[in-house]
Structure 1
């Protein structure tokens, strides 16, 4: 019965999609964008001098190429760390602050505290669920850690609790491979968009028990 129900829900999900969205959903590699609230969109996005804009949702953020995976979360690269905290450099910190203000203005900036790197906290609304998320930068300027504080991630599977795919053993989301992250090009807003994409996939996994996509290949131009 559970299998039939999941299949029925999957069919209902597909029936609600437009034909272009359905094609994209099933593997056509096209750019994806994230709204200010955290919803992933494909269609009706135009390029403007100030950036991509969706017909209904306004300014959106392009999802940079990335791949989901899981396993052990890598520790900070001690050799890549400076003797001076990177966030003490006004320019280095401002890149992230400005990007988050532009892409996800409702997220709260949490300054460095007691030596811990700065973080951002806020809500991502995928359209099928709301998730309280903490985006934590790293001392080595590597891929930020992404943790969902609410709700608990997973689903009931008979008498046990089933965790979703693409989680690190620490419980953080594996929003990308560490090699996908380029600290000279990417910002916390990049990681937040990846988190929104991960949570959109998770929201569907909760219904179908199938992870719908492994990442993004295409770059928005």
Structure 2
């Protein structure tokens, strides 16, 4: 059992943070005027409350024909771009093209492995999709390949419930932090075959 899970078992809720490289940390973080800072890793991003699950990925809402998309509004797009630049500067911004919404690609390093990750926003502003392009997710189980828990049938990561996501409050950086938390749990699952945590309850002030 991980230390955060052990503390939660005893009623102590532990806030989690993600470094710019993608490592989850939960102690030695200090609040500063510019945001939370870890004594060793520097600026970190708080992991917002969320719940892992799986099953079928929520389809996009049918949108009426519209003259412009949400990312055509500079302020709306800047929220995501600025948040990603601040929290995960190593991720590459992929502008919208041919009707596909803006995306980000980069590497999340959990400290136990590196993962190439794609964060894809949605036209309906729903919970962005998260896909690991490499390595293949899962583990050998005898002669078969065992997929990890909390994975959509499409292969995308189920980093949160759709109700955890608020497009007016959250950004692509929120989802990237959730992805880092998912991958940290996955890295532990690969060793123990037990998913160590179901999400995050703590709200960081």
TM range (shorter): over 0.9
Larger Rg, first or second structure (1 or 2):
1
Q: Is the 8 A contact 1:26 1:212 kept in 2?
A: no
Instruction: Tell me the distance in 2 between the aligned counterparts of 1:23 and 1:209.
Output: 17
Give the TM-score normalised by structure 1: 0.88
Q: Which has the higher helix share?
A: 1
Distance 1:80 1:194, change over 3 A: farther
Which residue number in structure 1 is paired with residue 35 of structure 2?
A: 51
Q: Is the 8 A contact 2:5 2:197 kept in 1?
A: no
1:144 alignment partner, one of 118, 128, 152 = 128
For structure 1, which runs of at least 5 residues remain unmatched after alignment?
1-9, 15-19
Distance 1:82 1:196, change over 3 A: farther
1:62-97 per-residue CA deviation (whole Å, 9 max, x = no partner) reads 000000000000111124885421000000000000
- SS of alignment partner, residue 108 of structure 2: strand
Instruction: Tell me the distance in 2 between the aligned counterparts of 1:172 and 1:63.
Output: 19
Q: Is the 8 A contact 2:93 2:105 kept in 1?
A: yes
Which residue number in structure 2 is paired with residue 60 of structure 1?
A: 44
Which residue number in structure 1 is paired with residue 173 of structure 2?
A: 189
Which residue number in structure 2 is paired with residue 204 of structure 1?
A: 188
Instruction: Tell me the distance in 2 between the aligned counterparts of 1:163 and 1:83.
Output: 41
Distance 1:80 1:105, change over 3 A: farther
Which residue number in structure 1 is paired with residue 197 of structure 2?
A: 213
Which residue number in structure 1 is paired with residue 140 of structure 2?
A: 156
